Amino acid sequence: MPTRVSSGGLRLGDTAFRGLAPAYAEAARSLAGRATELYELATGVSSATGEPPVTPLNPQGRVGWDLSGPPWGSALRHNVAWFSGCSADVNLIQPDYDAQPDTWYNKNKPALVKLHFWNRPFDSLSPTAVAPHARLYWVLRSVRITGADTPTATARTWNRRFGQTRETGQTETFTAPASDTQVTGITLWVPAGPGWNTVYLEVTLPTTSASTHQLTSGALQVLSKRGY
């Protein structure tokens, strides 16, 4: 027999406690039990030493809110994974773009970056809501290597974990800039699951383009805190 009570899942509204409302034992149990559950969820430990917690384990398999998104806490915006991180400057010596075949692109060759990354364990939300870590947003930087035009590039992204392909993923267009510039930010997203994911990013240029560009860096980020 546990030494402390849980609420049994019973949550109550004002009507249960109005002046002449009947006093049910469940009301006291709910009040005392929910205080116990809140203590465990906040502190991350069982409310009784040596006994299992009265709350279920979080997505990490631990006790308590871990800020991985509802119902385990409001998520935090941050980078989940990123690639490269170089700079474009004649005074910086780094591997030339030929040595970075994944990241440069022109009308004949797309950039194709594969991001393999660990996503924090999280709970899926209901079919009408998307958990914060279940939808990650790209932000990219790009620079022109040769040529003079600034063509419209198309970015495609897909997650093989969910059976997505190049054709079934999400797309966004941007103007490929001349200087090292942030080119996307809030609209190109990819679905992600808890644990390891393999996300692809492809950037192509139209056949009319006469320039070569390079993705200098990019990141997948959590944008939503409590789901969509």
Partner 1 sequence: MARKKNASFVPTTPFDVDVDALTLKHTIENAIGNTALVFDMLTGENGEANTIRHIGSGRGCPLGVPLWQQTIGRGLNYRGTGSVKGGVPGAVWLCAHPFFLPEGETIFRVRVRASGPFGALVPTVRVTTTGGTTEAGPVPLIAADPEDEQDAVYECSISGLTTGLHLVFLECNTEGNSTANIDLLSWHGYFWRRRPETSSPARSQSSTVVTLTTPTATQGVAHVDFQDTTFSADAAIDSYQTTYLDRNLNGLAEFGSGWPAGDNATYTHEDHDGAGVADPTDPARSRFHACTRAIYANEPELDFPWVAGAVGAYGIDGLPVIDPGAVAPTAGMLSWFAPYPLTASLLTMLRLPGRAPDFQTGASRLKWAVLAATDLGASATNWRATVDLSVASTSAFGSAFSAGPSVACLTLATGTGLGGWTGDGLHTISIKTDKTTAFAGSYTEFFLLGYCLYWEP
**Contact positions with partner 1 (CB under 8 A) in 97-136:** 99-100, 102-103, 113-118, 120-121, 123
Q: Which stretch binds partner 1 (CB under 8 A): 94-102, 145-153, 167-175, 206-214?
A: 94-102
Phi-psi region of 142 (alpha: psi -120 to 50; beta: other; left: phi over 0): beta
Least distance between partner 1 and beta carbon 135 (Å):
14
Q: Are strands 152-159 and 170-175 parallel, antiparallel or unpaired?
A: antiparallel
164 binds partner 1 (CB under 8 A): no
193 binds partner 1 (CB under 8 A): no
Per-residue contact track with partner 1, 62 to 91, x per CB under 8 A?
xxxxxxxxxxxxxxxxxxxxxxxxxx-xxx
Least distance between partner 1 and beta carbon 91 (Å):
4
Q: Which of 22, 61, 127, 207 binds partner 1 (CB under 8 A)?
A: 61
CA atoms within 13 A on the CB side of 105: 26
Residues 209 and 151 sit within 8 Å (Cβ to Cβ): yes
Least distance between partner 1 and beta carbon 51 (Å):
10
Query: Coil, strand, or helix at residue 186?
Result: coil
Note every long-range contact of 122-130, with CB atoms under 8 Å and residues 24 or more positions apart, other chains counting.
122/59, 122/68, 122/69, 122/72, 122/75, 122/194, 123/59, 123/68, 123/69, 123/70, 123/71, 123/72, 125/69, 125/70, 125/227, 129/227, 129/228, 130/224, 130/227, 130/228
Q: Are strands 181-182 and 111-119 parallel, antiparallel or unpaired?
A: unpaired
Q: Between residue 131 and residue 160, which ones bind partner 1 under the rule CB under 8 A? A: 139-141, 160
Least distance between partner 1 and beta carbon 22 (Å):
12
Least distance between partner 1 and beta carbon 13 (Å):
4
As a whole number of angstroms, the distance between CA 99 and CA 105 comes to: 13
Query: Coil, strand, or helix at residue 125?
Result: coil
User: Closer to partner 1 at the Cβ: 32 or 178?
Assistant: 32
Q: Which of 58, 106, 204, 214 binds partner 1 (CB under 8 A)?
A: 58
210 binds partner 1 (CB under 8 A): no
User: Closer to partner 1 at the Cβ: 82 or 154?
Assistant: 82
Per-residue contact track with partner 1, 6 to 45, x per CB under 8 A?
---xxxxxx-xxxx-x-x-x-xxxxxxxxxx-xx-xxxxx
Gyration radius from the chain CA atoms: 25
As a whole number of angstroms, the distance between CA 16 and CA 201 comes to: 54
Q: Which of 52, 175, 196, 206 binds partner 1 (CB under 8 A)?
A: 196
Q: Which of 155, 188, 212, 219 binds partner 1 (CB under 8 A)?
A: 219
